[in-house]
Structure 1
Amino acid sequence: MYSYVTHTLAPVYDSSSRVLILGTMPSPKSREAGFYYAHPQNRFWPVLAALFAEPIPAAAADKKDFALRHHIALWDVLHACRIEGAGDSTIRDPVPNDIAGLLEKSAVRAVFTTGKKAAGLYRRLCLPSTGLPAFYLPSPSPANCRGCTKETLIKDYQILLEYLC
């Protein structure tokens, strides 16, 4: 059953954010928790914690602090869409967020997308207004990354560090 979903999470960024990480649309668990990558099986926060050799942030406020301390901005490609559950492959009628507007308010110099659907939607819907190509990162969701271990994700996500110096 398709539902029309509007993005309810504010972007996480400040004027010193250097990289922007974009998913497609918050999952039902993330919307319920009120923060990005909140599903307990999602490996996003464990991977970032490993990159910076820090404990995994637990509460939303700790995750926000972690991201901002490391100059990482978080948002999603889409402002709204029709979607079935959390399945990116079911997205219909996508409406993009104003990524170009966020870039103007920050020091972001590199955009990364988590997952193939986010990458494709960014290229099609956002790149024309931002002019900044996005780097593809594998999805940290076990549902979207078959055979992709946490160690592989850590290796793939190390590219973030090049843009945070």
Structure 2
Amino acid sequence: MTSDPPSWKQSFPPSIRPDARILILGSMPGEASLAAQQYYAHKRNAFWPIMAELFGFAVTLPYPQRLQKLLENRVGLWDVLAGCRRRGSLDTAILEPEPNDLAGLLQTHPQIRHIYCNGTAAMQFLRRYQPGLTLPVTRLPSTSPAHAGMNFQQKLLHWRQITESASAANNSSPESA
């Protein structure tokens, strides 16, 4: 007896403004995010609490306003993968991954100065599909509740480098960068 193949999952469009300086890449939205049509929608995912702490907004803001706070700080969000087959939400269950057109996004957003990967899987997919990438790329600990090896404060400590990078990038002029 064979089971049905996992269903095809489609990622979201990027949340980014033309002059973004920082890009945060996840691997692929999980089931809660896909159902809500929101990045990092799982109630135990630490992404939004970390962003709220780093950029000084209330984590209880409605989703569009949380996205806007990142955009105001010239931080964009996207996923390395455009789609895949997967049962559940674990990155280890991803089959038939198809990458997003990151090269195209970077071409239309030339002010991006640093890419941060939300977890190991995002970094691995990025390296697989963008081997010639010349921008600085940093892997940060996954904000997923599945990454229980670090508590919130430990994750926050690592993620703080985004605000340092955003501050430096936002204070440099396009001509000098």
- TM-score scaled by length of structure 2: 0.85
How far off its partner does 1:57 sit? 4.6
2:122 is the alignment partner of 1:111: no
1:82-121 superposed Cα distances (whole Å, 9 cap, x missing partner): 1121010011211100111111222211011111111101
Provide the residue aligned with 1:136 in structure 2: 139
Runs of at least 5 residues in structure 1 that lack an aligned partner in the other structure:
none
**Residue 63 in 1 paired to residue 63 in 2?**
no
Residues 127 and 133 in structure 1, CA contact (< 8 A), matched pair in contact too: no
Deviations, residues 19-49 of structure 1 (Å, cap 9, x unaligned): 1001111111111111100111111010111
Partner of 1:50: 53
**Counterparts of 2:90 and 2:106, CA distance in 1:** 27
User: Contact conserved, 1:96 with 1:126, CA < 8 A, in 2?
Assistant: no
> Number of residue pairs matched?
162
Query: Given that residues 55 and 69 in structure 2 are in contact (C-alpha distance below 8 angstroms), is that contact kept between their aligned partners in structure 1?
Result: no
TM-score, reference length from structure 1: 0.91
Mind listing any 5+ residue stretches in structure 2 that lack a counterpart? 168-177
Amino acid corresponding to residue 18 of structure 1 in structure 2: R
Shift of 1:58: 3.3
Q: For structure 1, which segment, 49-58 or 71-80, has the greater mean C-alpha deviation from structure 2 after superposition?
A: 49-58
Q: Does 1:154 align with 2:156?
A: yes
Match of 1:32 among 8, 11, 35: 35
The alpha carbon displacement at 1:158 in A equals 1.0
1:40-76 deviation line (CA, Å, top 9, x unaligned): 1111010111112321153221121111011110000
Decide which structure has the larger Cα Rg and report it. Answer: 2
Contact 1:123 1:133 in 2 (8 A): no
Is 2:113–2:136's contact at 8 Å kept on the other side of the alignment?
no
SS at match of 1:142: coil
In 2, distance between residues paired with 1:124 and 1:132? 15
1: CA distance, partners of 2:100 / 2:44: 26
Identity of aligned residues (%): 35
